[in-house]
Chains A and B, each alone.
Chain A
Amino acid sequence: DTEVTQTPKHLVMGMTNKKSLKCEQHMGHRAMYWYKQKAKKPPELMFVYSYEKLSINESVPSRFSPECPNSSLLNLHLHALQPEDSALYLCASSQVRGEGGVWNEQFFGPGTRLTVL
């Protein structure tokens, strides 16, 4: 199984709602990532988890709260979002480190298209 899955595919929420994005992988990867991608822009890293511990937070506003319940699952909890947070949210996973110390490929899920009204 070489797939990263994400649910839901689409999400529309109001600025006062609380919602969660979910990501799952069964490739045995121990690093998982959240990215945000706006239209016609490249993905921007938000968070990195290594061995289920948060290792990188790219100064993301606290209205985004990541959680890694186990090595296969990654959640992104959303609260009090703004319309400018509307974007494609991508989850990715990778091995933590490869041979010779190089960093392995990241595999992306299909994304969740988020619209904040």
Chain B
Amino acid sequence: QKEVEQNSGPLSVPEGAIASLNCTYSDRVSQSFFWYRQYSGKSPELIMSIYSNGDKEDGRFTAQLNKASQYVSLLIRDSQPSDSATYLCAVNKGEYGNKLVFGAGTILRVKS
């Protein structure tokens, strides 16, 4: 089992729709969870962090965390073509603290 798993996609959604990206992780002691967006040829850009169970909203983005199910998700409302990118889920590895482990990433395509 991979430490952080994501569906590689591509996930295609029409402009204005909700995009739902999912991630599961294996280390039960992990405390910090992040979503990064990466455009082709660019570096990862942090878009959301979440540390507690429940939802966290920031603009069009909502991160959801369920530690019991070891599940993290990212919802993007009113998806725009500019949201087309690879979304990386990252989880801190409990044993090493500030070591981040990344999922393989989900490619999102928003069609106008």
Contact = CB atoms under 8 A, between A and B. Distances in A.
A94 B98 contact: yes
B8 to A, nearest CB: 9
Nearest to A55: B98
Interface-central residue, B43, B99, B100, by most chain A CB under 10 Å = B43
B98 A96 contact: yes
A109 B92 CA distance: 19
B44 A43 contact: yes
Contacts of A107: 46
Interface residues of B, number: 22
Interface string B16-49: 0000000000000001101010000011111001
A101 B51 CA distance: 10
Given A100-B51, A102-B31, A110 B42 contact: yes
B98 A103 contact: yes
Name the interface size band of chain A. 20 to 34
B104 interface: yes
Contacts of A69: none
Contacts of A108: 36, 43-46
B51 A43 contact: no
Contacts of A104: 32
A56 interface: yes
A31 B97 CA distance: 12
A95 to B, nearest CB: 9
B31 A90 contact: no
Given A41-B104, A104-B32, A108-B45, 4 more contacts: A42-B103, A103-B92, A106-B34, A109-B43
